[in-house]
Amino acid sequence: MVKSILYIHLSILFFSYSVLGQEKLNPSNSKTLVILEVLNPNESPYKNAEVMLKDNNMNEFKATTNSKGVLKVLVPVGNKYMVNCSDLKNELLINISNREYATWSGTRYTHRFIEFTFNFKDYQNKPVGQEKIFTVLDSGDTLVEETNQYGNAKFFVPIDRAFNVSTKHKVIKSFEIPDDGYEAISLNFKYRGQSSKAIEKEQKEAQLAQIEYEKQKKIRDSISAHEDSIRSTQPTVIIFFASDREMRHLGEISVFDGNKEGDKLGTVNSVWSCHSGPAVKDAEVKFEKMKGHYSYYAKSSQGYEWEGSYEITGGGWERIILEISDGKKAMN
């Protein structure tokens, strides 16, 4: 425990010395005094942190910022210096002249960046707040911010990076900003679309609608199956009639059950100019069949033939048309 207290005490003394020591620095004929204010991209001071100035020959000059993000350091005259803040770097160089006993004062951000503002409104032109916006850099890193009450989310993106912007449910746009040497640039992007809450509400409603549809379909299928079951036990009335729009007549038509050797079901003498045919009570050929698959054969007195099949499910009636134009002359 004593060792820990002593270590903390020594650390505080060293920090105080490094900051206070900067106050005594003075420029000379070979050294320029650099007074640098270091800012984070959001304009807050990069405070109480080590900053390194590096020249073209990779010589390093370190100093620690105070609570206002300000540092003082002596560097050789006539060189250019890059600012490094931990793993961040600002390539906008500090250019020191050859003038003796000079002081250089200025500001630098911790790194060069794009101040990217994303504005989100819905289709009614109302700001979408409390929406998470994702900015994915080409490095794979993801920045996440939430829109405020005005629909704005602000990002500070490294200036030499391409990036994609997306919401929780949709990739919105890809950006690739050319590096023209700026330390900081602003980019505003306006987007109109559905919020995640609106999308998720629609998805939930669609799921509930699908559940209800499937429930009703089961009920309908059950009713239909029951009705089919009842129908299958009931006979279907079969009606045969001839039809032709040109009102041609190929003579009396005999209808047989199954094939030409089957039982004769009756004869058709009338020809209808439509596909509705006669009323059930007026049909010339009328009989009943239970559920099943059947075939027929028909032949006119002038030697024309018809063949076909039909499916019966039970109940009701089924009309079978003998099209005059489909009749084929029998081969004798």
Percent share of the chain, pLDDT over 90? 71
Following CA atoms 58, 63, 65, 70 in sequence, which dihedral angle do they give, to the nearest 10 degrees?
-80
pLDDT of 17: 37
pLDDT-based confidence at residue 295 (cuts at 50, 70, 90): very high
As given in the structure block, the two tokens for residue 120 are: 């989100």
pLDDT of 224: 87
Q: Per mean pLDDT, which range of 17-31, 63-77, 142-156, 231-245 is the poorest?
A: 17-31
- CATH code, residues 113-194: 2.60.40.1120
Stretch 40-61: mean pLDDT, rounded? 94
Q: Which residues are within 8 A (CB) of 166 and not within 5 positions of it... i.e. 6 or more apart?
A: 133, 134, 136, 172
pLDDT of 140: 86
Domains 2-109 and 236-329 share a fold: yes
pLDDT of 19: 46
pLDDT at 223 over 70: yes
Reported as a single tens digit per residue, the pLDDT across 154-174 is 999 988 778 999 999 999 999
pLDDT at 31 over 60: yes
Type of residue found at 89: K
Ordered by start, the domain boundaries in the chain are 2-109, 113-194, 196-231, 236-329
CA distance 63 to 53: 8
Q: How many CA atoms lie within 13 A of 58 on its CB side?
A: 0
Stretch 195-215: mean pLDDT, rounded? 93
Q: Per mean pLDDT, which range of 135-139, 177-181, 197-201, 202-206 is the poorest?
A: 177-181
pLDDT-based confidence at residue 179 (cuts at 50, 70, 90): confident
pLDDT at 87 over 80: yes
The topology under which CATH files domain 236-329 is Immunoglobulin-like (2.60.40)
In this predicted model, which residue has the larger pLDDT, 259 or 161?
A: 259
CATH 3.40.50.12280 fits 2-109, yes or no: no
Helix (DSSP H) and strand (DSSP E) numbers for the chain: 2, 23
pLDDT of 21: 57
Reported as a single tens digit per residue, the pLDDT across 107-158 is 999 999 999 999 999 999 999 999 999 999 888 889 999 999 999 999 999 8
By three-state DSSP, how is residue 8 classified? helix
Q: Per mean pLDDT, which range of 28-37, 78-87, 88-97, 176-185 is the poorest?
A: 176-185
pLDDT at 255 over 90: yes
Calculate the CA 195 to chain-centre distance.
12
